[in-house]
Amino acid sequence: MNRAIELKKIRRSHAQPLSGKSVALIFEKPSTRTRVSFEVAVRELGGHPLILRADELQLGRGETVEDTGAVLSRYVDAIAIRTFGHDRLEQLAEASSVPVINMLSDTEHPCQALADVMTVLERFSNPMDLKVSYLGDGNNVCHSLLLAGAKAGFGQMCVGCPPGFEPIEPVVELARSITSATGGSIQITHDADEAAAGAHVLYTDVWTSMGQEEESKARRLAFAGYEVTQGRMKLASEDAIVMHCLPAHRGEEIEAEVIDGSSSAVWDQAENRLHAQKALLEWLCQA
């Protein structure tokens, strides 16, 4: 995080540690921020990004993930993948001899969480003083936020979600085990107002993610009452910021007046994907 903040300040003047190196960026899911931020990150570090869509690879015709990883790692210095099942990511990493980065899986979204932590640290000086609250689906974004926030030493992390949409227990248990060393606490509640009360950060995500479109009507009903609204912002801390990993559906999980208002850190958060990922790439590829 410290290096990411430094790279942000010296964006146009830092060294290019990826000079002469190539990074394969595999997209099995569509993307805006992840694709652009990773491609720009690799280029600004002096490397060559190879954008690879599943329908352009033999992956789309039945070649195994393991074979793909074994071959690509003979060509490139790192591989990043945005995929569906987390098992595909693990299979790729097992077969690869170069670093493999999770650009997103159905279970975790760690690069988003790096940008999230960076954004919070830019706004607040003492992580242990903070209450960071997430409202909505206990999905991959929520999972990685819990884990990254626990490692960053956030004082209190709270998830407000409807029954049946909690983050999975192994992630909650892991986050709690991390807080035993870093301090802080993890709370899961079905009361959105309780989650918002006193929060320094109110975070939300779309209610219907890619691949869940057939569930959208049922999800809107289930998540009604978990919106980030102007009224709910009044329950939060006076200096609270609003975060959203985007894309946003104004009028569903968040009010337009909130995401576009003075408390919004959403656009800094989106920008910070670039800087956090540059720090990650630099760290992984410097050997």
CB-CB contact of 69 with 91 (8 Å): yes
CATH class, domain 2-107+274-285, is alpha beta
Q: 2-107+274-285 with 110-269: one CATH topology?
A: yes
Q: How many CB atoms lie within 10 A of CB 163?
A: 7
Per the annotation, the verdict on 268 as an active-site residue is no
The pair phi, psi for residue 117, each rounded to 5°, is -65, -45
Per the annotation, the verdict on 58 as an active-site residue is no
Q: Active-site residue among 33, 106, 111, 112?
A: 112
Per the annotation, the verdict on 82 as an active-site residue is yes
How many whole angstroms separate alpha carbon 48 and alpha carbon 130? 39
Per the annotation, the verdict on 109 as an active-site residue is yes
Q: Active-site residue among 35, 88, 109, 232?
A: 109
Per the annotation, the verdict on 112 as an active-site residue is yes
Specify the fold of 110-269: Rossmann fold (3.40.50)
pLDDT in tens, the chain (287 residues): 999 999 999 999 999 999 999 999 999 999 999 999 999 999 999 999 999 998 888 887 789 999 999 999 999 999 999 999 999 999 999 999 999 999 999 999 999 999 999 999 999 999 999 999 999 999 999 999 999 999 999 999 999 999 999 999 999 999 999 999 999 999 999 999 999 999 999 999 999 876 777 788 999 999 999 999 999 999 999 999 999 999 999 999 999 999 999 999 999 999 999 999 999 999 999 85
Q: Active-site residue among 205, 219, 244, 285?
A: 205
How many whole angstroms separate alpha carbon 19 and alpha carbon 43? 9
How many whole angstroms separate alpha carbon 238 and alpha carbon 251? 23
What order of strands is seen across the sheet that includes strand 48-53? 48-53, 22-27, 78-82, 100-104
In the chain, where are the structural domains located? 2-107+274-285, 110-269
